[in-house]
Structure 1
Amino acid sequence: MSYCINPDCQNRQNPDSSQYCQACGTKLLVSDRYRLVWPLRELHKSPYVDVFEVDDSGIPKVLKILKVNDEDLLRLFRREAQALIQLRHSGIPKSGIPKVDPDGYFTFSPSNSSRELHCLVMEKIQGEDLQQWLKSNKRISEELVALEWLKQLTEVLDGVHQKRLFHRDIKPSNIMLRPNSDLPNGELVLIDFGAARWVTPTVVQGRRDLTGVFTPGYAAPEQLNSRPVPQSDFFALGRTFVHLLTGKHPIELTEDSQTGQLIWRDRAPQVSEPLANFIDELMALSVQNRPDNTQIILKRINALQRIDDLADGTTKHISPSSRQPSSLGWLVIGLSLGLLEGILLGSLVPPLLQPVASPQPCDSPAKEALDRKHEDDVNAIAFSPNGNYLATASLDNTARVWETTSRKQVACLPHKDNVVAVAFSPNGKYLATASLDKTVQVQEMSSGSIIHLQHEDGVVAVAFSRDGKYLATASADGNARVWKTTLGRRVALLPHKAYVRAVVFSPDGRFVATASLDNTARVWETTSGKQVKLLQHQDRVVSITFSRNGKYLATGSASGTAQVWEWETLNDKAVANQQHEGSLVTVAFSPDEKYLATASQDGTAQVWEWKATSGSKVVSVPQDKEVVAVNFSGDGKYLATASADGNTRVWDTIDVGLVAQEQYGSGLVAIAFSPDGQSLATASRDGTIQLWPWNKSSR
């Protein structure tokens, strides 16, 4: 029996000998390669996705079909496809994820139908998931098996995390157990990457990801609070092994009323105290108390295995269940059906990969109108000095340049990974783009010639000196660098002990200030790289800026503290402080230096008269949801704020009165005044850029 791929077909079953559907005429050999053998999910059960086993020249595979034309669903579908394609070629050991060929994502249009079906073909994993395995085996009864499986999954996660991706939904049902003659306890395969997320500056900074993606009982506290990080995978891994070792779902277990830790050891007497302690460490409520990375976990597992070997000296194993999974058992292979259907119940993180169908991002269908979209999140914008152009950086692996008058795209700059920062030189001659592909591209706007600058990890911030002679770059490799703009030659290395989040030049260009997740801000001589000031903080420093005269430096930290420093003096104490309840997103001086604007994850923006001698004047700017960006107009008279709910507001700086407001969708991430102050540009997580003539006189 062969099935028709057309969801609208009234009779989808056909004889194997048929080449075309007898009911609707659709070709039965999809993409001239795949014949649908039988559905792995009841047809019409999901309005969004069909899943079939297909025959690929005698090899059984799984075909997942997106049936609806919905942008959120489509981006999610593409994200899973691209994640699996990229991870398959990233050196992950032991086939630890389902295989998807480079051409495994494609579109197909049934005959006489306006539908365009998006298709993903992946390896069919022979075996069962660990949720099914628990039904027949109750629990892992041998510690050595637990250590072996924990090591396998950590090795897979190591490859995933090295690609700057984290899974976000580790649980028994998302782990397949495949029989393997070389591994007596079977081979584990991590599936369902529909919830996966790239490690972007937004993630590292701890900003909300606006997602409702989590599984109760396995999701870490920060994930429940919409701020997942790579170490959230470790929490879920620990909870998964509690389930496997006790046979009890984590939500069935009680928590210590004082510590909040899960009480589980009494239900797993086969587990030694060292292993139980390690699993509790993986599940620590605070991210800081979990292992920093997968390499540390692997070292700890190796140590635990040596302890067990010394204690027993034998290799133990349990046999995977002998029963064969039903065809429905294979449904879990790489599928994210529940996640897709969950879109209607809550907002999802916008997808974080370039479209699979466009391996060269600038060759994708042109987005000619500015108010249309990138293929993915736009997370940084910058006006050219004359205001004639707007540059945008996107997670679709491109930076694009738009003409503000005609709103047409005039240039596209491709990278090999997410583009996260963009800046014009003060004279408008150069455009710098920073990417997680570890490079910065500096393009001369008139000639189109490009200089490539290399870091050892993703580059997250760029800044030009006022004369344009120098370019500073900040990277997740723990270093900032200063380059000669016209030559692409590095003139200084500015080392930190952790991810450098931001970089800025002093107004005269003699100094560079850097903000780092090593809890410091530092000031360096531009050309020599000599450190001239170290400003110690209590938490990660996520934002930094100079005042217009260069005398003061403002910093914002993850603890919610904004501080102003008279950095050229010998005094190492801040001259002014202001506290928010949540981590700061950004700090910005007004042009006259009288005010400092701050935006925080606590949902507020504040205008702070920090120089006041008898107590600083602080005026909170009311918002409906989290403030994600603030920006002063060039004359300092107005402050623009962008909120996660999509509201853009303009306030009078002095009395903080609301003078203009517009609503553009949701998920705003950046905002900027045009140089003449007449227009505002906003960027959104859905890939949309908007130009808003906010000033009434310009409407």
Structure 2
Amino acid sequence: MSYCINPNCFSPENQNNPLYCAACGSKLLIEGQYQAVKKLRVLDWGTIYEVKREETTEILKVLHINSPESISQFQQQAKILAQLNHPGVPQVKPGSYFTFIPRNSNQKLHCLAIEKVSGENLQTWLQKNNLPINQELAVEWLNQFIEILSLLHEKQFFYQNIQPSNIILRPNGQLTLTNFSLELQSVQSDFVALGYMFIYLLTGQPASTFLNSDTKTLNWRDKVSQISPKLVDFIDNLISQQYPENHQTLLHKLSKIKDDLSPSLMPKKYHPLKSKLLLGSAILFLGLGITQIISYLPKQFNTDLLLSEQSNEIPSDNLENFFYENKGKFLVGGIIFILAIGGSHFVGYFRIHPKYLKLSLPNGVSLEETFNTDSERVYSVVISQDGQILACGNGNGTIQVWNLETREELGIIEGHTSDVVAIALSQDGNILASGSYDGTIKIWDLATEAELTLQSHFMRVTSIAISPDGEKLVSGSSDDSIKIWHIPTGKMLHTFRGHSDSIYAVDISPNGKILVTGSHNNIKTWNLETGTEIYTLVGHHGRILSVNVSPDGEKIASGSSDKNIKIWQLETGKLLRTLSAHINDVNSVVISADSQTLVSASSDHNIKIWHLETGKLLRTIKGHSRWVSSVAFSPDGGILASGSFDQTVKLWKLG
């Protein structure tokens, strides 16, 4: 489809893309390079089209009014936009301003081709993500707007069209002004409109809702009692009748407000289990109960909790005979065992000694340890790079930490008010980060016992990752955004946008340069430093719940709610293979340090081990009774940790 831009053409739509309009005979390839493919808007002063120019799509503005004043303003707009090199305004290339004369007409049409800004307008984004926005996002956006307006006002050019529908939110979080007006007003009108819009963004209601008709003032402060008074004052200053302060003063004030909102270091709630005194009777009952049962188990009895392609299930009749013959002993032992568990509730902690759970199997996998957690749901497990620390994020808002070598629980970290669904450890093991459904990220210094709270997402935090140098943290959220943070200061560095749905998974390449993110149906890779999107991987048909970059930096593994695992080439984005064996969501994928082995965890209760290069399924681990939510390798690849909704974290020894 091609459109004729002649305003007097009675049938501007042309099929099959001819060179000339079938109705009026005007050229359809405008200026020898632009082809109008879609009519976007008809305004008082002209028409806006979407046009094709070689392999790119641009926006073409066509002025229909021939008054000298309108032409002068249109030319001024073209000149100023061409001079500006800022992502906050559409880019205009040299030669993009031209005139066009339709056939059989003496009237020149003044035309301006500008960048088609990728992203979605702010009104659409707000409808998807719900108002109001939080104050941290408000400060970030105000800063962007004032920087953009500063550039325009310096050239005596005024925007005049500040409203959510005219603002595009680029995938990297940059706001861009579109639909520039030809009306001449003032700097003040831009700032007043900006203030009104932010009242709407922070309250969810139009500013006119708060107008007192008697005093002609906006009484909106009671609606935002949770917002910083300095931020409220700042917005009130924008809409005052006085000429606003210069732009640099406004930016300086915003910077101070942002500093006031920045997270501060606070003592963390860290409770070593050593401080929980064990009652003597509980210890006695626990020891007697376990010993009584274990003593009755024959040495040759080997319970296969782990099943693999090479192992066989225990015949059910052997189990039935064994328990029948020893039912009396088990009755006594069971009573003592129940008393032992009851005693353990006095201290809120119960763990069976690993020597009674260690299982030697033909396939070289054995269960080393089962840790019972304080929560019904374990969402995430992680092992430190030195192999000393094991941690898990729980559904009750806590994080539990163990010494992996001694198997001693080091403590329970509290602070979140909802499920901790993602945790990450820095490579030196000193920093633990956690993301929660409460919308916050917390950074815990395990050495100094300090806590840093980061808050900018206005919906659930779903995934986090720490860069190899320990300087940056990446967070993904249900608000469709990815945020980059500076760990030492807690400052937010960037916001990346490009996905149209929740972010479920993030990971960083070993060299710290590439970010991988998973959303619904697709995976994106980004330049972590610039926020530039590199490519989009399409192939899954569902939520991508986990992504992991191989330690050699060559491959990406992804697990999805479509029950499949896919292996991609990091450099090119090429799909190498699809692994299918799970019968439910694949919640977690992790690649071993030597980049040879892939492990997947699923809601089908199973863990599967694969050869990464060939895609061959090596074995299946069965041992959890509910969803397996997360898996993590020890640095040497000898230990695998798994977390489950069965309230446990398990350690598996891999031969």
TM-score, normalised relative to structure 2: 0.41
Q: Computing the radius of gyration over CA atoms, which structure comes out larger, 1 or 2?
A: 2
